[in-house]
Structure formats: structure tokens, C-alpha cells
Amino acid sequence: NYKKGAEEKQPDCLLRVAAFYLDGRGGLEKSEEKGREGLAEAAEAGSALAALEMASRLSKDEKPDLLGAYKYLLSAANAGLPMAQNEVGLLYVSGNLGLSDPTAAVAWFTTAAKAGHAAAQNNLGALYERGMGVAVDYNNAGQLYSLAANQGHAAATAGLARLFAAGLGTEQNLPKAWALASLAIERGTCPEVLEVTAW
């Protein structure tokens, strides 16, 4: 019983009950206010997913609370959630909230990439390709793009295509570049190298 677990302050149960309020399921009347209260409580109890969801909601409000959102996002990242670590890295790359620091972005992307997060692998590859926060290293960029592309990541597949087309970090191979570019299009790639953040 999720309600009983929530009363006992179990993070997963608090998160589930919050989701029920937000969606109006589980016999609970839909309530954004009660849902957010539940998310905040679940985040305080240690749920990284609840913290990430709160960050997302606060950043997308009509009047966004970006500082509050950042605090929740950082909490989720520090709790080891790769998706949140990737988002923090994106904030450092974008300079939003006055957090422009490519070196810090490299650190956050590296942590998430080591956990197998495809978007972070792509983003870290892009930093190595561009020489942002690290020295240009096409070999590392290619390895990271490969890891993400093997998970079906479209932008990473396009990144690999670029490297093969130009012969950067590898022998130039135009047929392989063409095949990878075609695959990237099938996967729905966009022109941006870095993932787009909601912030």
C-alpha cells in the first residue's frame, strides 16, 4: 500500500503518491499542489527522481523558479542520477543561470557518461570534438560518440559521421560517413551537436 509507505516516509512510496495526485490516479483527486508537496517530501526523503521532477516543474512554470529548480536538480545529480548530472552539465555549457564553466560541464558529463547515459556520452564527445573545457581529442570524441550511437542516439551517430567524413581521429571513410549520416537521419537527428535542455 503506497499510502501506508508514504506515511512511513518511504521515498518511493512518497513519489508514487505524488504522481497519483499529479495525474489524478489511484483514487486520488488530481491536485498539482498536493502533488508538488509530495514531490518535495519525497525529494527531502532522498528520492533523486522526485528532485528531478520538481526541478523540471519549477523550471517550466509560468513564472519559473530557476534557483529553486537548480537546487533540486543539483540534489538529484549529487544523489547519482545520470539524467540530472547531464542536465547540470548542460547548464554549465549553456551559461544559463550564470553558470558558464565548460570544465565543470566536462566533470558532470563524465560522471553521467561513465554510468552509460547516452546523452551525456554524446555531450562529452561534443566537448572533446570542439575543445570546450578539454583539449581537442578526436579519438575520445569518436569513442564517446560510438558508445552513445550504439544505444541509438541520433546526434552521436551524426557526430561519428562528421569524424569519418573529415578523417578526424580516424581514417577518412566517406562511405561509412554517408551510412552513419543516413542512420542519424533515420534516428531523427537535429543540427545541434549538444542535447537541448529545457532550461
Distance between CA 4 and CA 1 in Å, rounded?
Answer: 6
Q: What is the pLDDT of residues 19-72, one digit of tens each?
A: 989 988 878 899 999 999 999 999 999 999 999 999 999 999 999 998 999 999
Looking at per-residue pLDDT, the higher value among 85 and 28 belongs to 85
pLDDT digits (tens, 9 = 90+) for 160-194: 999 999 999 999 999 999 999 999 999 986 544 44
Task: State the Cα angle at 175 between 169 and 179, rounded to 5°.
Answer: 95
Phi-psi sector, 22: left (phi>0), alpha (psi -120 to 50), beta:
alpha
What is the spatial distance between Cα 89 and Cα 66, in angstroms, rounded to a whole number? Answer: 16
Q: Give alpha helix (H) positions in 45-173.
A: 48-60, 66-78, 82-94, 102-114, 118-130, 138-149, 154-166
Q: What is the CA radius of gyration of the chain?
A: 20
Instruction: Report pTM.
Output: 0.86
Looking at residue 198, its pLDDT comes to 37
CB neighbour burial string for 174-187, b if at least 16 within 10 angstroms, e if fewer: eebbeebbebbeee
Helix axes 154-166, 138-149, angle to 10 degrees: 140
Residue with cell 499529479: 22
What is the distance between the alpha carbons of residues 174 and 161, in angstroms, rounded to a whole number?
A: 9
